[in-house]
Every structure is written in C-alpha cells, then in structure tokens.
Amino acid sequence: LTDRLVVAYRCDVAKKSAKKGKAPPSGASTRGKATMAALADSRDLYEKSVQRPNDEVEFVASTFAKLRKRPAQTLREDFSGTAAFSRTWVAGGRDRKAFAIDLDNDALDWCQEKMAARPKQERDRLRCIAGDVTESVCEAPVDVAVAFNFSYWIFKSRATLLKYFKRVHASLRDDGLFFLDIWGGPGVQDPDEDEHEEDGYDWRWQWEAYNPLNSEIRCHIHFAFPDGSAISPAYTYDWRMWTIAELRDIAIEAGFRNLRCFDEELDDDGEETGRRIEIHELSGYETWWLYLVVER
Ligand SMILES: C[S@@+](CC[C@H](N)C(=O)[O-])C[C@H]1O[C@@H](n2cnc3c(N)ncnc32)[C@H](O)[C@@H]1O
C-alpha cells in the first residue's frame, strides 16, 4: 500500500496526472451477472486508494525518534476505521503496541479478519476498541496518537474539538506526540474533483460544496469499474474545515506545548520526494495537504 495517492494532496503537482471526467452511472449493471461494483469490497478499495500506512508509519516513527531521542512503541489510532495504520504499526516491531479506536464495529471486525492471517504475537499487540474518541475509552498512556484523513473534522464545534484534544493530551505520555493531517487552500472553496486510475478500478475525490459562513464542506469518494458499474458515492463526509491557527489555539488550550507543520519536500521538477520537512510558511498552492505534529 505504499506509494498510493492520498485523499488530498497538492493539486498543483497532482492535477498533472489526475484525469477529470464525468461520474460513471451509479449502479450500472451487466445483464444478470453481478457487477464488479457488487463484488467489490469498498473498505479494501478505500485502503488501496486513500491510505498509505507504510509511508505514514515511517513518518511518525522517524519524527518521534528525532524529536524525542527514543523510539515510539505505543500508539493510539483515533477514528481508525479498518485500522490500517495500527496493523502496519504492530507489524513493524515486536515492542510496538496499538489501540485502534472507532465507533464503527463493522470496520473493526473487518480489521480483525485481516489480522487473523497475521502471527499471534502480532495480533496480541493490536487492540480494537469500539468507542467514542472523546470519551475515556483507552486509558493506557501512549507515545503517539494519530488522527488521519481529516477525521477530526467530524467535530464542528470548538467545545467538542477541545474536549477531544484534551482527551488525547491525557492519554499521551509526558513526551508524547499527536499527529494529524489537514487539507486546505483557496481551491477547496470551489466544487471540484480529482480522478485517479488504479489497477482494476478508478476512484474520484469530490469536494461538492463549501460554505464560507461556517467552513463546512461536503466531500465524497466514488469508485468506478471497467464494466461500467460504480459505487457512487462510496463514502460521504460532512465536515468542518478547521484552520491551522484554530487548531494551534485549541491544542495550546488543551495543554499541548506547540503545533508544528510538515510538508512533503519537492524536487526541482516539482515532484514529491517522499521526505517530509518542517515548514513555517506556505504559499502559491490552490490546495495543500500537510501533517501536523502536536507536542505534549
Ligand atoms: C474518514 S474515516 C477515517 C479512517 C482512517 N483513519 C483513515 O485515515 O482513512 C472516519 C472514521 O471515524 C469514525 N468516527 C467518527 N466519529 C467518531 C468518534 N466520535 N469516535 C470514534 N470514531 C469516530 C467513523 O466511524 C469512521 O470510521
């Protein structure tokens, strides 16, 4: 799952390779036969399309080691869904443990099914917790907490986001780090979409409507197949887009020390190098996607 495109990225670079097009007919079928859409596992497609856990685990582990001068071992993956990050985390070292937290029991069951094929000592180091990340569902102090693919945007009020950040703060060790990602830029305000070709299917990331009066946005992920069938939309998100300045204020109020921004380094041709560097300013992009590292 390395090298997969993520949900959102710097359009200036990525749009060069993105193909735009109309949505395939939703629910199209081929007479009598089960369509490719009907046979597809949308969780599997989601992981293959918008997640890159190998890359993210490497970033989290190396950033923690650099900032804290010790390896990170324990992880809390919030809004884990199928817990792709946690599965990769525990596979990466015998000292690593993970707690994957999500409200969705079905997604956690799907994770357990995937884990069934893994060695027992690896399975024992991943615990799936069905619960609300704003509540005290995971008391074990951890080195690292992650909340990826903008999942915390589900919280639309400052009070709820602050409650969540306080919960993460309380669950981290004294030198713990909290990793988030964020998408933004003027381009998110105009409805648009990017289409990506994968092996055996295409997927589109659509941002359908942004409301500047409350910073809310509605986005979708669609999958389309060579037989004309589609899962459209496969996933819909109804979010509030928080700004980095707002997140920094909330993090400080929750007890964190600071919030750092990391961007993918580009080479001279504007291609992504896979290396992430801390940045202190950003300009010139229609849309951007960054990692945030919040220090306890
Ligand atoms: C966009 S998915 C993120 C999946 C994965 N973390 C990723 O990076 O792609 C958002 C997930 O958050 C979960 N979720 C929403 N509100 C939650 C809450 N209050 N507590 C725990 N999980 C929640 C949903 O069930 C869903 O699986």
Say if ligand 1 is within 6 A of residue 203 CB. Answer: no
* Helical spans, DSSP H, in the chain: 11-14, 36-39, 42-50, 53-68, 84-91, 105-115, 120-123, 158-171, 244-253
Instruction: List 101's β-bridge partners, or say none.
Output: 129
**Pairing relation of β-strands 126-130 and 97-102?**
parallel
Atom of ligand 1 nearest to the CA of 107: 27
Distance (Å, whole) CA 164 – CA 251: 10
DSSP 263-288: EEEE-TTS-EEEEEEEES---S-SSE
pTM of the model: 0.90
Instruction: List 146's β-bridge partners, or say none.
Output: 77, 179
Distance 102 CA to ligand 1 centre (A): 6
Q: Which of 103, 137, 217, 220 to mutate to test the pocket of ligand 1 (most atoms within 8 A of CB)?
A: 103
Say if ligand 1 is within 6 A of residue 9 CB. Answer: no
The pLDDT averaged over each successive group of 10 residues in the chain (296 residues) is 33 34 44 89 96 96 98 98 98 97 97 96 96 90 98 98 97 98 96 95 97 97 98 98 98 98 90 90 93 98
Say if ligand 1 is within 6 A of residue 88 CB. Answer: no
Sign, Cα dihedral of 72, 175, 82, 7: negative
